[in-house]
Amino acid sequence: MAIALLGFQTTIAAPLSLTGIGVHSGREVTITFLPAEAGSGITFVRQHDDGTTSEYRAVSAHVGNTDLCTVLGTNPAHSIATIEHVMAAIYALGLDNLVIEVDGAEMPIMDGSSEVFIDAIEQVGITNLGVKRRYIRVTKPVRIEAGASWAEFRPYDGTRFEVEIDFDSKLIGRQMWAGELNAETFKTELSRARTFGFMRDVERLWAAGFALGSSLENSVVISDDDSVINVEGLRYEKDEFVRHKTLDAVGDLALAGAQFIGCYRSYRGGHKLNANALKALLSDPTAYEVVEAPSRNHKVRAREFVPVHVPEFAPWTA
């Protein structure tokens, strides 16, 4: 299959701001997206009350805790949490360069999905910067395992996700989502899938200082009798759960610092497994190559991208 991929770097056409609640802190937070120059990548800037800032490029080397969400930075006083839904939207829309300012410790959860971020970015528009985009193309299988869970990258002529989950819950059970990853597929099949959790876990999370901003407005909640508490039910019949796990995987893998050409597969995965699989791929120089479009065409078939010999191009370590 000939999959067309964007050959040039992009940014947003104008600044935009969104305000919402942090799902773990329960505090109001505002984020502002700013255009950025070609080659600068995605940068998060946390603004502190004393006027100082903490800055992180959205790359694998800066990933800290991955227990309940994906965090940039290892010091809670300076880190930025819950970036995966924002990064999924950025990756799916093909944005390469942005500055994201935030006045709190985490991204706003909004409705628990990526839909609000997609809509906001599309309202301001995307600008082609006229500089060739470089991709990471998987050249051989890379697999990691953690107990009954596993994840792997495989060579593929395009960008594809195959995510399977298996929960001890009659409501969820074993579900799988598989498909090509592009802006349209993400918007229609994944972007509206919300984060989910079990009512039985709520008190434990609250006691630990997490999920303080979680509510039926931003999460699918599963009751003790294995039913959905939310009055409106599921947005995707039966399988919103695996679609959200796929959304998370898109956001986590965006921390490669570049788009990738290949297939990502996982079973019973989560943020930690996604992060470790990405690190396993990027730590093996024989498992991938850096490629770019061979011509000045706006879109190029995946198989037509050509290797570029630039050993200094390693955005995931920046």
DSSP per-residue codes, 199-256? HHHHHHHHHTT--TT--TTT-EEE-TTS-B-STT--SSTTTHHHHHHHHHHHHHHGGG
Choice between 52 and 295, residue whose per-residue pLDDT is larger: 52
When pLDDT is averaged across residues 10-22 and rounded to a whole number, the result is 97
pLDDT of residue 212: 80
Those residues whose C-beta lies under 8 Å from the C-beta of residue 232, and which sit 6 or more positions away, are none
pLDDT digits (tens, 9 = 90+) for 193-202: 999 999 888 7
Q: Is residue 314 part of a domain?
A: no
pLDDT of residue 1: 42
Pairing of strands 134-138, 260-267: parallel
pLDDT of residue 163: 98
Those residues whose C-beta lies under 8 Å from the C-beta of residue 208, and which sit 6 or more positions away, are none
pLDDT of residue 160: 98
pLDDT above 90 (res 4): no
Percent of the chain with pLDDT over 70: 96
Please, which pLDDT band fits residue 66 given cuts at 50, 70 and 90?
very high
Q: Is residue 156 part of a domain?
A: yes
pLDDT of residue 211: 75
The candidate with the shortest Cα–Cα distance to 244, out of 197, 205, 203, 201, is 197
Q: Is residue 316 part of a domain?
A: no
Choice between 276 and 297, residue whose per-residue pLDDT is larger: 276
Tell me the C-alpha distance between 122 and 104, whole Å. 24
pLDDT above 80 (res 90): yes
Count CB-CB contacts under 10 A for residue 222.
22
CB–CB of 33/12 below 8 Å?
Answer: yes
pLDDT of residue 294: 86
Task: Give the count of domains, the chain.
Answer: 1
**Prediction pTM value:** 0.95
Choice between 316 and 111, residue whose per-residue pLDDT is larger: 111
Query: Which residue ranges are tagged as binding site for Zn(2+)?
Result: 85, 244, 248
CB–CB of 6/299 below 8 Å?
Answer: yes
**Mean pLDDT (the chain, rounded):** 93
Q: Is residue 317 part of a domain?
A: no
CB–CB of 199/137 below 8 Å?
Answer: no
Q: Is residue 313 part of a domain?
A: no
pLDDT above 50 (res 2): no
Q: Is residue 90 part of a domain?
A: yes
The candidate with the shortest Cα–Cα distance to 89, out of 114, 113, 107, 52, is 114
Widest CA span in the chain:
57
Distance of CA 221 to the CA centre of its chain: 22
Beta-sheet strands, E only, within the chain: 4-6, 8-12, 16-21, 28-35, 42-47, 53-57, 98-102, 126-132, 134-138, 142-146, 149-154, 159-166, 174-180, 196-198, 220-222, 260-267, 288-292, 299-301, 306-307
When pLDDT is averaged across residues 211-230 and rounded to a whole number, the result is 90
Which of the residues are catalytic? 271
Q: Is residue 258 part of a domain?
A: yes
CATH of the domain at 45: 3.30.1700.10
When pLDDT is averaged across residues 124-138 and rounded to a whole number, the result is 94
Q: Is residue 110 part of a domain?
A: yes
pLDDT above 60 (res 43): yes
Q: Which of 149-163, 213-227, 257-271 has the lowest mean pLDDT?
A: 213-227
Query: Which string of DSSP letters, residue by residue, matches 108-138?
Result: B-TTSSSHHHHHHHHHH-EEEEEEE-EEEEE
Tell me the C-alpha distance between 202 and 211, whole Å. 8
Query: Which residue ranges are tagged as binding site?
Result: 85, 244, 248
3-class SS at 312?
coil
When pLDDT is averaged across residues 13-18 and rounded to a whole number, the result is 98
CB–CB of 316/257 below 8 Å?
Answer: yes
Domain holding 169, by residue range, is 8-307
